[in-house]
Amino acid sequence: MEAIIRIPIIVCLLFLMGIPVAKSVCQFPSYYDGSWYHRDSGSDTNLIISATSGTWGVDRECFQKVDHDKIITSDGVNATILLKTVGVNCYICMDVIYRSIYIMQYRRSECKTEGDIKLCEGISKLPEHNELVTMFKQVSPVMNCIASIEGLFQFSYEINEKGGGICNNSENILEACQTPGSPNYDNKDFLMRFRVCPDVQTSFRQTIRYKCMGTWVANMNNNTYTFVGLAHDETGVLQDKYKCLMTLRDQHSEDNTIRWGLSRFGDCTNLKSLEQSPIRIVLRRVAPKTSFMIPQCILPRNLTGTWFTQGIQFASSVWINDTHIYYRTMMSQFDYEETWFACQANLGTRFLMSKVVVGRCEISFVCFDLVPRHDGIVRYRVGRSVKLPFTLDERTRDKDFLVTSFKETCSWQWLTFSRDNVDWKYEVLIQNPPSPVICPIGGRYSFRQYSNDFYQLYDTRIRGITLSPRNKISCLMNVSEFKSCHGDMSKMEIDATYCETVDYRGRPIGEYEEPDHILTCAGHWLEDMKSYMITYDEEDAISKFRCWVYERISWTDIALSRSETARCPKNQNSRSYEIDGARFYMALTETERLFDDCPPRFDSGITPNAKPRTLYTLYSGSQSCFFSNLQAKYFMFVFLVFNFFSFRN
């Protein structure tokens, strides 16, 4: 009776301490059931596991089993199993790692004479990836490949035998596309076309359709790798049917390439690193070939050039010619995405553009609504895209195809992502490098700055090397200064602590009048009764381009709010400094002095396109006091003749 009471107490203590407890009845999960292929000691091996009877092969059966903590993103569980050989006093510890319903990995111990699962090494620590043997379930897999590989790539490959050699044929194509109407399962496989390179002995010509069996992540040598199990159902050789694919997770190459390691057979332990893999593959993203990239219309001529635009999350460099628009979007410090647009049709300010993303298979139509350019600013908005069939080409179009597509894609309702979204604003293209324009705010002001982040405020600094050593001058009055004067009206100078002390003549006594920050105005406009301004500062460590919302609040006071990037949030106003995307607000008060010669000016940007470029000249006197053009020529002729004869006499 005493023993019966102690067992539950020990079990409860082990449970509370987090130690796995062996089950008295040993059963396998249902996904264990079936025939499994693996390479055991370099030879092909088939293993049959029965989940109902608990048998592992023909001569081993489950004796004890411990389930480890379940991984949240996994449908299965890792387990440590104690197998007993039938008819022999031999116990084997098996650490089984679940990867997918088609792939499992295991580590097997030597034969033990003690039938206690607590003696198994996997109870305290599961094995590392290089200690595991990979098993592939011998069924035709039906698993989505989008988590493993998606897109269109040109690749080079190198086989680590017979001297190697890199085969970089332009026809080496990896195609993992979503193709509606395809006889193959959508997203369940991908195609690799290997082509021969004449100067590479190990190159070969073959087209292989791989099916995905599972994806998992493992750590090796202080690096995190992503592994993919592949199956080639069309081959008749068993050892060539299963492959392991490895890539370094979050790899960042300067040329935007992706490196893979591929095994020769179904043995993942041979993949030790990308450089030590049996087959080394380098993927390069390519754009899909389509006739829709042939332009059918022309963009406005004054858009040609290089531009910069700031999206909600990423910034893009933009290149535009008469027919195409090219976006290069930095997704991180190293990775970038390339997008091409080709003009297909236009009506007014709306342009129907075909769109392809380099490295993706989709071809789509999208509508650009372009506001006419003013200064170095182009405002635009992009509507929802309409995906086209991947196989659609010139022969399948009818004569009204573009007209129908324009009506669908460029309808005014389609330019917003939701019919309820009526509170939208234009995105902005900024000429890069910018062409300076006259700043909308001019004059000399003192300012007060507000921000919840200390690093957003303007502070005093020495901009580079001074021409001569600094002298200690007693300054009786330090003030903040914001000015844009007639010397260069395209720049705004900001000084957080300006010495305003003057001498007996009313002149500044400071020998160094170099401002802390110099902002170049790139453009301004009025939208939704808000005045916007773009400035450029090449010394800005966060964003060289900044967007401002400004407003004149009295005859002598102006309010400005600065965004954190070149994009102003929709809810930003001239006093915003506590919202996402706008953390700084500045209040200006006019403080022009006698000898500053810095008259104030203000332009709300209400009609930037209607302002004529007019040069005004001033003169004194009435029109009658001047000679006409003909009279002036006659008078000059008489004067020259008179002087000629005078000198002769």
**596 or 422: which carries more pLDDT confidence?**
596
Kindly indicate the confidence band of residue 643, based on its pLDDT and cuts at 50, 70 and 90.
Answer: low
Name the band, by pLDDT with cuts 50, 70 and 90, for residue 14. Answer: very low
Residue 73: is its pLDDT beyond 60?
Answer: no
* Average of per-residue pLDDT across 297-312: 92
Average pLDDT over residues 19-35: 68
Q: How confident is the model at residue 22 (pLDDT cuts 50, 70, 90)?
A: very low
Tell me the two tokens of residue 399.
Answer: 């004569």
What tens digit of pLDDT does each residue of 29-62 get? 888 999 999 987 778 889 999 888 888 988 888 9
Q: What is the pLDDT of residue 609?
A: 59
153, 173 contact by CB (below 8 A)? yes
**Confidence band of 319 (pLDDT split at 50, 70, 90):** very high
Q: Name the H helices within 491-648.
A: 629-648
- For residue 149, what pLDDT is reported? 86
Reference 587, options 455, 444, 442, 450; nearest CA is 450
At 588, give phi and psi (nearest 5°). -100, 140
Q: Which position has the higher pLDDT, 468 or 438?
A: 438
Residue 402: its H or E element: helix 401-409
Q: How far apart are CA 567 and CA 310, in angstroms?
A: 6
pLDDT greater than 50 at residue 351: yes
CA distance 149 to 47: 29
Per-residue pLDDT tens digits for 205-246: 999 999 989 899 888 888 889 999 999 988 878 888 999 999
Identify the pLDDT of residue 182.
55
* Mean pLDDT score, 603-632: 58
For residue 620, is pLDDT > 60?
no
In degrees, rounded to 5, the angle at the alpha carbon of residue 239 between the alpha carbons of residues 234 and 242 is 60
pLDDT given for residue 371 in this prediction: 92
User: Which of the listed ranges 196-200, 265-269, 465-469 does the model predict with the highest average pLDDT?
Assistant: 196-200
Whether the per-residue pLDDT at 415 is higher than 70: the answer is yes
Is the pLDDT at 417 greater than 80? The verdict is no
Residue 513, CA distances (Å) to 24, 113, 472, 498, 517 in order: 86, 89, 14, 8, 12
pLDDT, one tens digit per residue, over 89-129 is: 899 999 999 999 999 999 999 888 888 888 898 888 888 88
Q: Are 311 and 329 in contact (CB under 8 A)?
A: yes
- Mean pLDDT in residue range 509-532: 85
Q: What value does the mean pLDDT of the chain take? A: 83
Confidence of residue 484 (pLDDT cuts 50, 70, 90): very high
Q: 589, 588, 567, 585: which is closest to 576 by C-alpha? A: 585
For residue 8, what pLDDT is reported?
40
Pairing of strands 427-431, 441-450: unpaired
pLDDT reported for residue 115: 84
Across the range 375-389, mean pLDDT stands at 88
Question: What's the confidence (pLDDT) of residue 23?
Answer: 38
What proportion of the chain, given as a percentage, has pLDDT over 90? 42
Q: Per DSSP, which regions of 358-477 are E strands?
A: 363-370, 377-382, 386-388, 427-431, 441-450
Enter the pTM of the model: 0.79
Of residues 144 and 286, the one with the higher pLDDT is 286
